[in-house]
A and B are shown apart, each in its own frame.
Chain A
Amino acid sequence: MGVLQVVETHSLSVRYGKVEALSEVSLQVPQSSRVAVLGPNGAGKTTLIKVLATLLRPSSGYAEVFGKDCTKAPDIVRKNLCYVPQDRAVDILLNVRDNLRLFAMLNGIGGPDRDRRVKSALDVLALADKASKTLFQLSGGQVRRVQLSRVFLSDAPLLILDEPTLGVDPKGKRDVWSLIASRANERGTAVLLATNDMAEAETLADTIIFLGNGKVLASGTSSELKSLVAGFSKLRIRCSQPIAAEWPSGLDAELKVKSATIQGDTIEVLLSERALNIAAILQVCRDLGLQIVDVSTPELALDDVFMHFAGRG
C-alpha cells in the first residue's frame, strides 16, 4: 500500500477559454511536509491553489487532498484544509476581534475555547491593541495579519496559503514566516504555499516546485534547485546613475545571457556559461551609454534559478 499523500495531482489542466492556465501538472505533497509553488506572475500558482482549495474545477486530470477528489468530494476535502487567499479575505463590516471570532466559529471552535484562542491569536499576531479597530483603521500589513489569523484558529492538517506575505514589509514578513513555521512544526501540519518571493520559499518550504506558463519546470529542495544553475555565473554591473535603457535581448544568444535584470543603477546578468565574456557584456553597457562604476561576480542564489526558469517561461 502506498503512502497517503496530503496533496496529489495528476495531469491537472485548467483552461480559461483558449488560455491554458495549468497544463498537465502532477505533484505530491507528503505528510507534514512544506511545499512552495514558485513562479512568476501568471505562472498558474493561484489557479493550482484554487483547484486544491475546491474553488475551481479542473478541465482535465485530478487533484486529491488526503485521498479525496477535490471535484467529487469537496465537502470532505474542505474539512481538512485551511485556505488563506492571496487577496484580502476579511469581513470589512466586523472589527478585528470579531473577524477572528468568525474564523474560529467557521472552524467549529466555540465557547470559552474560542475566546481563549482568539486572545492568543491576537497576542501572537501583535494585534491585541487593535482588537476593537475596524479594518479601515489598520495598515495593509496589519490587515494581512488579521487574514493570516485563520492559520492559528484552525486545526486543519493542511494549510494552503496563496502569497501569504504579499504587501508585508520585510520585518513583518519574517515575523509571519516564523509564525507559520512554528504553527506547522507544533502540529505537524502540511503546508502548501504559492509565492514569487524566493526568500519566503526558501525559509518556509522543504520542497520547491517551479511553475512557469502553467507547467512544472523543476522541483526539489532549495540546494537541488540551485545545482541546476551550477554551471551558470552572474555578473553585477553598477553604473553611475539609475538606468533608463532596456537590455538588448537580441544579443542574449550570442553572449550566452539567460536573463538580465535592471534595478536602479545596477544590472544583473545571468550567464549560462562560467567562461564569461565580460568584455563583450561591458561593451553592450557602454553602447547603451552607461558609465560603469563597479563590476562583481556574486554567488548564485535561488533568485537566479527563478530568473532562469522565469526567462524560460
Chain B
Amino acid sequence: MVELTQSAPAHWLRRALIGAVAILLCEYLLLSWLVDADLLQRRLAWLSGFGYVAPLAIAIGTAIFIFASTGKANVLVLAERDRPTARRASPYLAVHAVLFLAFLLLTRALFGGQPLLLGTAEAGFMSWALLGLAVIAALTLAILPPRQLFPLVRQARLSLLLGSLVGIAAWIAGRAAEDLWEPLGRLTLSAVAQSLRWLFSDSFSVPNRMLVGTSTFRVIVAPVCSGFEGIGLMIVLLGCWLIACRRQLRFPNALLLVPLGIVMAWVGNVIRIVALIAIGSRWSPAVALGGFHSKAGWVLFCGAALGLMLVSRRAAFFARETPPVETAGDSWNPTAAYLVPFLSGVGVQLVAGLFSIRADFAYPIQLLAVLSALWAYRKSYGRWRFSLSWAVPVIGAGAFVCHFALEGLLGPGTASGSTTSLGLGVRPAGAASALIQLARTVIVVPLAEELAFRGYLLRRLVSADFTDVSPAKFGLASLLISSLAFGALQSNWIAGAVAGMLYAYALYRRGRIEDAFLAHAVTSLLAVAYSWWFAPLRHA
C-alpha cells in the first residue's frame, strides 16, 4: 500500500513526470513535423460537433492537476521505498516506444495524404484514438507500475472527485457566460455610438447589424469585440490577486476591486473602439487596423489591471499594511530589481507598436527605458566580474546556429512582440541608428532578459527566496520552465527555448550570470550582423 506522507517528500515522481512530459513533447514535435496539420484538421472536420469535449477535458484536467498536486493530498509526495527501478520501468518504456511507432505510422497513413487504411474515417479515427490512448497508458505505467498506480488513484480519489466537480462547474460557468455576449455587445455598441456622436458629425450606427463608425471607417461590434474577454480575464486576474495577497489586503474592502476592474475593462474596450474609429477615420486606416488594433486592447487592459493592483497595495482603504515609502537604501525589492528592466522594455515595445512606429524609431525609447530601470536598481546586482572564458562565445555562437537552423527547419513562427533580442533586426539608416541598435540589441536587452529569465525565474523556480539560491544550482524543471518561458517570447518558441537552455548552461559552468549575459550578447551580435549584411532589408 502506498502511503502519502508530508514529512518524507520524494522527488522521483516529479522528475519522472518531467521526463514523461519531455518525451511526449518530443513525440508531439516529431508528429507535427511529419504530419500535415491542416490535412489532419480537414480529416477531423466531422469532429467539430464535439467541440465542447476539449474545453471540458482541459477544465477538468487542470482542476484535477491542481487538486492532486498541491497541499496535503499531493500525489507527488510518496514514500521513497516505492521508487520504481529502471528495470521495472524499461519494459513499459519499450512498449511505449513500439506503440508510438505504430501510432506514428497510422497517423501518417490517415492524415499524411495517403489513402485511408481502415475503411471509413470514423473507424480509422477510433483506431487512431485508441492507439494514442495506449501510447499514453504505456508511458503512465512506465512512471507508475499498476501495483503503485491503483493504490495512488484510490488515495487521491477525493482530489479526483473535487477536481472533476470544479472543472465541470467552471466549464458550465464559461458556457453560461457566453449567453451574455450578445447583450454586452449591444451595450458596447450603444456606448461607442454615443461617444462618436459627440466627436464626429458623420457618425452612425446600425444596431441590427452591430455596425458603428463614420462615413469613412466602420467596425462591427462582434461578440469578440464586446469586451467580454477583457471582463473575464479581469475577473480571473483580480481573483488570483485577491487570493495571492489575501494577507496584505483589507477585506471586505478589497472585494470592491473586482467590480471596479470589470467596469474599467469594459470602459477601456469602449475607449479602444472609439479611438480605433477616430484613427481610422481621420488619420490612417492602416495604423488603426495594424498596430493600434492588435495592441490597444492589451495596453489598456494591462494598464487597468496593473494600476488596480498597485492601488490596492498602496491605498489604506484596500491594504491592511501600506508598504513603507522607499528610503535611502535600507530596503529593496529583489524581484523588482530583476524583472523591472525586462518589463519596461516589453511595455515600451507594446506602447510604441500602438502607432505602428518603425522598430528603429522605437529602439532609442526602449533603450532609454531599460537603461533607466537598470540604473535605478544598479545597487541590487552586486559586483559583476567579467573574465574571459573560451566557452562563453562558443555557447553564444552555438545558440545562434541552433536558433537560426531551427527557425529554418520549423519556420519563423509568429512574433509575439517581445523584446526579441534573438530575432533579426532592421537595417539601420545611419551610424547613430546603428549604434543605438547595437547598444539596444546586443547589450541592454540581453542584460534585461538574462536578469529576468536566468537571474530571477530560473532561481525562483528552485526557491521562493531566490536571492539565496546559487546561480548554478537549478533543477531540470526550473531549466525547462524558464527556457520555455524565454522561448515563448521569441519569434520561434522552440528555437528560443533551446537558446535559453544554452544560456543556462553558460551560467551553470561557473555559476556566473555574467557568462549567460555574454553568451546571449554574442548570439545577438551575430543575429544583428546577419540581418545587416546577409538578410534582405526588413522593416519590423
Say if A and B assemble together. no
